[in-house]
Amino acid sequence: MLLSPCPGSDPRPASARPRRRTAAVAAVAAAALTLPAAGPAVAGARSAGTRAPAATAAGGTRFGGAIPRLQGVSPAHRLVPAPASVKDVSGAGFRFGRRTLVAVDGGAHAVQVARGIAHELRTSTGFSLRVVKRSHAPRNALVLRIRPASKLPAATAAEGYRLVVSPTRVVIDARAAAGLFHGTQTLRQLLPPQVESHRRQPGPWKLAAVRITDHPRFRYRGAMLDVVRHFMTVAEVKRYIDHMTLYKLNRLHLHLSDDQGWRIQIKGWPRLTSYGATTEVGNGPGGYYTQAQYSSIVRYAAKRFVTVIPEIDSPAHTNAALASYPKLNCNGQAPPLYTGIEVGFSSLCISKPITYRFLDDVVRQLARLTPGPYLDLGGDEAHSTSHADYVRFVQRLEPIVRRHGKRLLGWAETSAAHLSGTGLAEYWNPATGSAAGTETATNAAKQGVGLVMAPASKAYLDMKYTELTPMGQSWAGIVEVSDSYDWDPVTFVSGIKESDVNGVEAPVWTETLKDLRDVEYMAFPRLPGVAEKGWSPARHSWSEYRSRLATQSPRWEVMGVNYYCSPQVDWRYCRTNPTAPAAK
């Protein structure tokens, strides 16, 4: 297995380090020839009623046939991420019907959550589900209430909720609208998967009686999308946000610049987008978001309680910017645009004042467009920058971010610099325990910089599932579904305490993934597992999780999500007919 070098700890010169990208080129070529093992022809086509002859494999996976309704699968056996507490209640549950109301007691954000879930349920059930404001809980209603802290378990905090299903009503109580929202996502998973359909489906729409109290283990539960190596449209990004919310992820880290392209409009620097955005890996046309488009992603995310964190990678991963503006290069000469998949060859000019004026412009504009507290300035794989220059650079970078009212998020290598202790460091090196490389995590913790755990050998969704996976890379290992679930964000690196960890993130790098359909194939089923690492108590084991995970595939099928039917899971549903990935 070829492990990625960590720039902070790898003493070898760049030329002696493993060149992992070359292997991936072959994977791209293979991806063009081989088809993924599962997936409907058109992402987004919701065909809940598809019928084909069913068959059951020895392991229990059900292939083809009608998509199961999961009736009789109890709440404790179907929810991902697992709630903090689920108590099955004996007796009848609740049944949505033509006259069911959605009653809300709370401010504007609570009303928005009520409207959102009513809208989703209307489409598939065909019921009118009128939204009404009520301070008491009517019968035959889904009731959403903002409650004072004293009326809820102490751990509920800002994102937790209590969900009680009884024959007369479903009540979701929370301290804040975010908690109500997460409660409605649990509700989705308690209903038959057909509720995800864009077309009206036959009922019944029944829920088992249950009492759930729930809150997240970590505050930061992220997904990272690389929209550079292959550009993703605004609609694709929004669809990915939808996928995140079903699993209670709340941070979208958008990797917006790299060697192969610059993807966000920056006023005063037009060539970044008129020239630097015109490429991607291979021969594709690239693309970028105008500031208005970026804002529309931010708003779409915010409505779903997801905070966007934009990343402008620096000082390395900057060839697109260097190609667009000769003055950003130490020698004043622009390199050509780049469409390959090597890393670590580019660097902003550490000693030129223009570098910091450029970054100040970019940071100022992104800070204005981004309501969340964090801006990510990268800091990974700076192989052509000396260690001293790298440290100097990061120490100039953080004050720029702070001056514009934000906190610095960086890859964990940034912890080699002296940091203010207000930011976050994202740990990605696959090293475990106390192996070389883990000091990026311990150095961050020592400085009071919170850790976001994204170890590549567990959380990188672009790693292949098996040698035969037709896309993806393998420099951090071959990562089957159980491998990506089997770790703990606190104990992965020794010397780290629970309070050092802000949360987890699942990055998807897109060197070998050409569109969202490919991204889905790598994210499902692993993304829900990383989400569970971020949300659920540490006690869950793979053997218990895999049976809950098995109940998710019928839902993905209805949603038109492309997914990998891993043989490690006895799926409730799996397609038999592999189909070609849709051409972009």
Residues that bind ligand TNX (CB under 6 A): 343, 380-381, 411, 428, 460, 462, 473, 509, 511
With a CB cutoff of 8 Å and minimum separation 6, the contacts of 293 are 234
Nearer to ligand TNX, 240 or 460 (CB): 460
CA 28 → CA 230, 279, 485, 581, distances in Å?
12, 17, 26, 13
Residue 294: phi and psi, rounded to 5, are -60, -45
Least distance from ligand TNX to the Cβ atom of residue 509, Å: 3
Known active-site residue 413: no
Nearer to ligand TNX, 30 or 41 (CB): 30
Nearer to ligand TNX, 69 or 514 (CB): 514
Least distance from ligand TNX to the Cβ atom of residue 412, Å: 9
Least distance from ligand TNX to the Cβ atom of residue 172, Å: 38
CA 418 → CA 355, 357, 413, distances in Å?
20, 22, 11
Nearer to ligand TNX, 105 or 511 (CB): 511
* Distance from the Cα of residue 21 to its chain's centroid: 23
Least distance from ligand TNX to the Cβ atom of residue 473, Å: 5
Nearer to ligand TNX, 457 or 553 (CB): 457
Q: Report whether 570 contacts 547 (CB < 8 A).
A: yes
Nearer to ligand TNX, 220 or 411 (CB): 411
Q: How far apart are CA 524 and CA 26, in angstroms?
A: 23
Written as six digits, the tokens of 56 are: 């059951």
Nearer to ligand TNX, 165 or 228 (CB): 228
Specify the residue for token string 């088992």. 208
Least distance from ligand TNX to the Cβ atom of residue 481, Å: 18
Nearer to ligand TNX, 201 or 473 (CB): 473
CA dihedral defined by 103, 107, 111, 117, rounded to 10 degrees? -90
Least distance from ligand TNX to the Cβ atom of residue 368, Å: 26
Q: How far apart are CA 77 and CA 126, in angstroms?
A: 27
Q: Report whether 303 contacts 311 (CB < 8 A).
A: no
Least distance from ligand TNX to the Cβ atom of residue 256, Å: 13
Least distance from ligand TNX to the Cβ atom of residue 419, Å: 17
User: Exposed/middle/buried for 72, CB within 10 Å: 0-12, 13-18, 19+?
Assistant: exposed
CA 542 → CA 202, 263, 275, 481, 484, distances in Å?
34, 38, 47, 9, 10
Nearer to ligand TNX, 173 or 381 (CB): 381
CA 288 → CA 234, 293, 335, distances in Å?
9, 9, 20
* Helices and strands counted in the chain (H then E): 16, 20
From 159, 280, 311, 381, active-site residue: 381
Q: How far apart are CA 348 and CA 325, in angstroms?
A: 11
Nearer to ligand TNX, 12 or 139 (CB): 12
∠278-359-270 over CA atoms, to 5°? 35
Strands (E), 276-422: 307-314, 374-378, 407-411
Q: What burial letters (b/e) apply to 247-264, b meaning 16+ CB within 10 Å?
A: bbbbbbbbbbbbbbbbbb
Q: How far apart are CA 43 and CA 59, in angstroms?
A: 28
CA 387 → CA 110, 346, 390, 409, distances in Å?
49, 15, 5, 19
Q: How far apart are CA 454 and CA 51, in angstroms?
A: 39
List the 85-88 sheet strands across, edge first.
Answer: 85-88, 210-214, 161-165, 169-174, 141-146, 101-105, 131-133
Least distance from ligand TNX to the Cβ atom of residue 378, Å: 8
Catalytic amino acids? 381
